[in-house]
Structure 1
Amino acid sequence: SYLINDISVPKVTGTSVSVLAAKSAITDRVDLFSNMVVFSSYAMQVVMGFMMMVAIFIIMPRALVSARRINEVLTLAPTVTFKENSHIQSAPKGQIEFQDVSFHYSKDSEAVIEHVSFKADTGQTVAFIGSTGSGKSTLVNLVPRFYDATEGSIKLDGIDIKEYSHNDLNNKIGYIPQKAVLFSGTVRSNMIFGESGREELSDEQIWQALELAQAKEFIEAKEKGLDTEVAQGGSNFSGGQKQRLAIARALARHPEILIFDDSFSALDYKTDHILRHVLKEKTAAMTKLIVAQRISTIMDADLILVLDQGKVVGQGTHKELLSNNEVYQEIAYSQLSKEELENEN
């Protein structure tokens, strides 16, 4: 018994020492690991602080430049100014007259429009055609005063357009751009943008405008009808549908003057043909200015102006220009065959 106990004591003592040594080692390592975690955390915060500081130094110059440019826009005085009140008593007519009109985008730039003169009587259709960059859109943009003519004058119902207030001029004009603009909301809310200030649009009037613009069918096919949602930019409608909705919005205003700035470009030929004939019949009292690339769109116009580098190189009816104007002939024969043109005549 004594021998057994004598042998066991060293074993127990050795085990105890081993356990104590292991505990001490583990404790030291845990402390070391904890210290490393804390150090890494603090180091990361310091590094992130320096990274944020560097980012600020990089972004700050750009932000200052952007702020300066925004302030330049906000403080810029518009070059086109309107009278507060028109005090014009003339009866609504929709007659437009350009008298030797020229236009430069800036004082030192070349003329975009040079010495253009024409007259559109009430209910007439005047069309503009020419190559890209010939000044067609710029010309019609002078009517709602997106720009002011550099030389000459533009008269509306015999009165210079500069004599009209902003609201009075806008109420006389329905403008449809090439790129149709639709806003987030519903079909009804987009159509209400067409109000001219005279009266609120009823659903019946909206449907009439949609029918005239050949847009009623695809809106009726929608489950919610006029309450159909319109995504931002009208992305849930095709290009042709957006153009027809934009046309309907302008027609709902019942303006004296309709300006179509290549507003039929996304329409197929069948819809284009139907729409033009309906417009001719239903908007006979409205004066229409049409910018187009297609000969077929402007064949029925009362007057066609052919533009080349900002100058009028020919004006007349389709038949007259086809027989005596080389620029018009070149455009016409590049789009339609001789037989098709003769059949249209």
Structure 2
Amino acid sequence: MIRYPNRPLQTIGVTAPSSGVPAEHHELLKAAISRLEQQGLSVQTTANAWTQQGARSSSAIDRAQQLAAMWQDPAIDAIIPPWGGELLLEILEHMDFRQAPAKWILGYSDLSLLALAMTLNTGIATAHGTNIIDLRGSETDPTTARWRDVLESTEGEFIEQVSSDFYQKSWDHANPSPLVFHLEEPTVWKTVSGRSETIEGRLLGGCIDVIRHLIGTPFGDVAKFRRAYIPQEPVVWYLENCEMSVTDLKRSLLQMKYADWFDNCAGIVFGRSAANEPVQGYTAQQVYKELAEQLDTPVIYDADIGHQPPQLIFVNGAFATISVQDGKGHIKQELRG
């Protein structure tokens, strides 16, 4: 059975298992902390939340130790790192997943590697969505705002979310917005079939750029996870592409398929991506179509996941019903044990 955190959300822990915040951006983290405190939350940070050198916040051992300390600290109710990064993979060999209590971690990009590994190795649910830096705005869009509803939910509860009305196509840091994001492009969820689709199953996923590196390691044994925690249940994979070319995306999906990650797959949801540029006329839409045909399963794409915000909060391990009709998406997650 999947375990869900069951704690009042009072204190947020901020540690940097991937990238920390360099001195020139400290004001961003300070603003995010201030906003959360204005909402009645307490925030504690580790030293490496404020440091960055050599594409990482601190050494692999130090990052693992600071993360473990927050996980074991009974005063911390949830962990939300500053943002993603590049080298979270380094810390996995220094972590003892057996000692992890049921505590929410929320984030995306490189952080999704940690979240998926945590769920696969412990059966503890983890959350994919906004990072803490993006909570610094004086206003919060209704899609992002649902992060707190999810982290304050407990086993047996249902969470319903709908797709955004508009999304941010690219960052414009020179012109800050009260929402942080510049939500100007109409959001349209699509399906490979071109028809309305509904898929159901246990959610697993993250940023495919990084979670693919779990394949073949002790930290990415999807078959073992399924036998132990969700026997014979279908899985809905949600995936987003940060930086890969279309052909690299194709290779990564084939690797997942060859590693049997797509066994008993009820469907796949792809997030929007600025990286999906065609390669010699080969498009992401063709990749999605080929995958749908090979797996004989529905594929949804351009969903509110990943690096073109805002994004829904997807819970690894939860049972989800995801539907698309007339370009709008609806997701209902049951925190089912």
- For the criterion TM > 0.5, the same-fold answer is no
**TM-score band (shorter)?**
under 0.3
TM-score scaled by length of structure 2? 0.28
Flag the structure with higher helix content. Answer: 1
TM-score (norm 1): 0.27
